[in-house]
Structure 1
Amino acid sequence: MFGYRVPAPDQAMLISGGKRGLSGAPFRVVTGHGTFVLPVFRKVRFLTLAMCEAEVAETCVTKQGIALTVRAVIAFKVGNDTESIVNAGQRFLSDQDQMSVLTGRIFAGHLRAIIGSMTVEEIVTERQKLATEVLDTSKAEMAKIGLIVDSLQIQSIDDGDTGYIAAMSAPHRAAIQRQAQIAQAQAAQAAAEAEQESARQQAEYARQTAVVKAQYNAEVDQAQAQAAQAGPLAQAHAQQEVLAAQTELAQRAAELRQQQLVAEIVKPAEAEAERIRVVALAEAERMKIQAEAAASHDRVALDRMLIDQLPQIVKEAAGGLAGANVNVLNGTDGLGEIAAGLVSQGLTILDSVRQGLGTQGLGTQQGRADRSGERPGLEPGE
């Protein structure tokens, strides 16, 4: 649109011809957005806010009086605040390349001042310290012209033909060379040890190979010998099995013959002996039964005789009472008691006779047994 201006992202737009800017600046500063600019009555200029660099190659004299050529690179830019843009615009708007020239001269002066207070050893070994001190001392001066420094890098330090830095590094080079030689010797020793170890391993492998081959040959020979002996051994085992089978057959035949002898001789003899024993027992039992029967018959005959004689015995007992003076107190009951007493006496007499006869009969039976050679109630052989 006509009259509307917009600065680039890395630019500051300076508008002059109107009202004054910050702190009485002859222009207004616009960044990050556009604005209307009245043509003819307003003038627009642009100031770069991009990163710039300046190179410094300065010969400086150290604290020891040794001249050193120092090369450095400074990265700087215009500050983003309005005050820095106004300060840089008033100084560099018509010739912005002068920012790099002026920055280089400022840092060259600070480098000479700081290197003059340091030794060569400090400058060489503490480059970052040198850069930090230069930045710190130049910060305020750079801010006055609206510039800020992002970094300062010391690229090289050269003493020319004096050879001071080379002499200073000689001990380190010697130490490094010595370490390199030691490392080389150690590497050579390690290589020799590796070769020796390889030779030992090869020898050990060869030995193990020979042992394995010898074992293999021995196993082959043993297998061949076993194969050669397999036939006779098999025949011997077969004969041994035949003999074992024949022996077992002979044992079975002997056992069978023994069983036949037992069945033909021993069993019939045992059966005959058992038959004789049973017959003897039966005969003894028969004689015992006959003896008991005979004794029982004698007892029955005696009992019958006693029973037949019992009335006569009672009569005789009652006859003895005929002349006796007996007082009967109870009448008929008293006579019954007397009669019962007589009968009881008769029965007592009968029992006594029986016992006597039984003893006599047992003696008679014992005598009969003695005469027959056997004892009643006992089996033969007892």
Structure 2
Amino acid sequence: MFGWRVPLPDEAMLISGGKTSEKYSAPFRVIIGHGAFVVPVFRKVEFMSLSMHEAEVADTCVTRQGISLKVKAIIAFKVGNDLESIVNAGQRFLSDQAQMAVLTGRIFSGHLRAIVGSMTVEEIVTERQKLAIAVLDTATPEMAKIGLVIDSLQIQSIDDMGAGYIDAMAAPHVAAIQRQAQIAQAQAAQQSAEAAQESERNQAEYARQTAIVKAQYKAEVDRAQAESAQAGPLALANAQQEVLMAQTELAQRAAELRQQELVSEIVRPAEADAERIRILAEAEAERMRIQAAAAASHDRVALDRMLIEQLPLIVEKAAAGLERANVNILNGADGLSEVAAGLVGQGLAILETVKKGIDKDDKPQLPA
């Protein structure tokens, strides 16, 4: 809209040519945060910046000890937000707002030299914040008169310009710090060495445990492989042993059978032959006995003698038949005796039968 003006959030709009601020006898009206209608031609509008500004101070100051120091500081300032500060700043800097930084630097330079002159180098170096607070305390009222407020003051650097005083002052501290640094470095190196040794011990212990476990596993595997490798030969040996035992038992049975065969083939026939000889001998003896008895008898005896003479032949024939027969003798020598006695009995029976036949057919007359 024509004639309607609005300041920026960080600006104050100053309207001159009309109603003014009676409270501070300002030649203009101050508008902040809202717009206002400005009659063209009859009113004039200017804007005052309320944003942050910066001023730098770099000045040579002499301490209470007479030592020259170059001190560098940075001041952050702005126009105050209140109506009085805006009016004061507007009346001084509205036409050339860049002069605010120049004037601020000069003001702080003077106060900085005065404060440094009341302090020692040690205080300035070690208590920079104390120096900054002292400068602020002395410069703030003066800055307020021109409508400016200080946000911060920072001491950037302090230099003795090659005199070596600050370095000499710092030497004991530097040596102490270096000594502490060396001690700390040595302790750190020792701790590092101990940690490395502990790590090596842990690794060695782990390697030992691993080697033990591997050896145990290998021993178990080797034992299992050995048992597996021996299982085949052992089973073969057991099988061979069983075969040998079976063959031995079979050989024993074959030997027993052969022994029985030898007894049947050699011993039994020999025993039968011996028994036959004995029977023949007994028959011969019997014959001789009969002949002896017949010698004292009548003519009948002569006939019996003839028959008795044939008894050995009869028994021999019977024995010959027995020899050719397959006879199993179950009770050894007693069995043979029984067989022989049977042969003799058989021979005597034959003889008796012959005698009876003769008596029946033709009974001879024996002489008296």
Question: 1:80 Cα shift?
Answer: 1.3
Q: Deviations over 1:320-370 (max 9, x none)?
A: xxxxxxxxxxxxxxxxxxxxxxxxxxxxxxxxxxxxxxxxxxxxxxxxxxx
Q: 1:229 to 1:129 in 2, by over 3 A?
A: same
Match of 2:135 in 1: 134
Match of 2:6 in 1: 6
d(CA) in 1 for partners of 2:35, 2:219 = 103
- Are positions 1:145 and 2:153 aligned together? no
d(CA) in 2 for partners of 1:19, 1:141 = 30
Match of 1:41 in 2: 42
Q: 1:225 to 1:127 in 2, by over 3 A?
A: same
d(CA) in 1 for partners of 2:221, 2:48 = 100
Partner of 1:24, secondary structure, is coil
AA in 2 matched with 1:8: L
Question: 1:139 Cα shift?
Answer: 1.4
Question: 1:210 Cα shift?
Answer: 4.2
d(CA) in 1 for partners of 2:21, 2:222 = 115
Match of 2:108 in 1: 107
Q: 1:223 to 1:130 in 2, by over 3 A?
A: same
d(CA) in 1 for partners of 2:8, 2:225 = 101
Partner of 1:76, secondary structure, is strand
Match of 1:72 in 2: 73
Q: 1:218 to 1:8 in 2, by over 3 A?
A: closer
Which structure 2 residues correspond to residues 19-34 of structure 1 after superposition, within 5 A? Answer: 19-22=19-22, 23-34=24-35
Question: 1:206 Cα shift?
Answer: 4.3
Match of 1:18 in 2: 18
AA in 1 matched with 2:2: F
d(CA) in 1 for partners of 2:218, 2:17 = 114
Q: Deviations over 1:53-112 (max 9, x none)?
A: 111111111122111111111111111111111111111112111111111111111111
Percent identity between the two aligned chains: 75
d(CA) in 1 for partners of 2:163, 2:151 = 34
RMSD between superposed Cα atoms in Å: 2.8
Question: 1:182 Cα shift?
Answer: 2.0
d(CA) in 2 for partners of 1:7, 1:194 = 68
Question: 1:218 Cα shift?
Answer: 4.0
Match of 1:334 in 2: none
Match of 1:162 in 2: 163
Question: 1:224 Cα shift?
Answer: 5.7
AA in 1 matched with 2:51: A
Q: 1:213 to 1:74 in 2, by over 3 A?
A: closer
Q: Deviations over 1:164-216 (max 9, x none)?
A: 11111112221222222223323333343344334434443443344334434
Q: Deviations over 1:287-329 (max 9, x none)?
A: xxxxxxxxxxxxxxxxxxxxxxxxxxxxxxxxxxxxxxxxxxx
Q: Deviations over 1:114-169 (max 9, x none)?
A: 11111112212221222122112111111111111111111111111111111111
d(CA) in 1 for partners of 2:226, 2:10 = 101
d(CA) in 2 for partners of 1:35, 1:221 = 104
d(CA) in 1 for partners of 2:47, 2:208 = 90
d(CA) in 2 for partners of 1:104, 1:116 = 18
Match of 1:176 in 2: 177
AA in 1 matched with 2:3: G
The gaps in structure 2 that reach 5 residues or longer are 243-368
Match of 1:323 in 2: none
Which structure 2 residues correspond to residues 1-382 of structure 1 after superposition, within 5 A? Answer: 1-22=1-22, 23-220=24-221, 222-223=223-224, 228=230
TM-score (norm 2): 0.58
Q: Deviations over 1:12-31 (max 9, x none)?
A: 22222223423322222222
Q: 1:223 to 1:150 in 2, by over 3 A?
A: same
Match of 1:290 in 2: none
Partner of 1:8, secondary structure, is coil
TM-score (norm 1): 0.56
The gaps in structure 1 that reach 5 residues or longer are 240-382
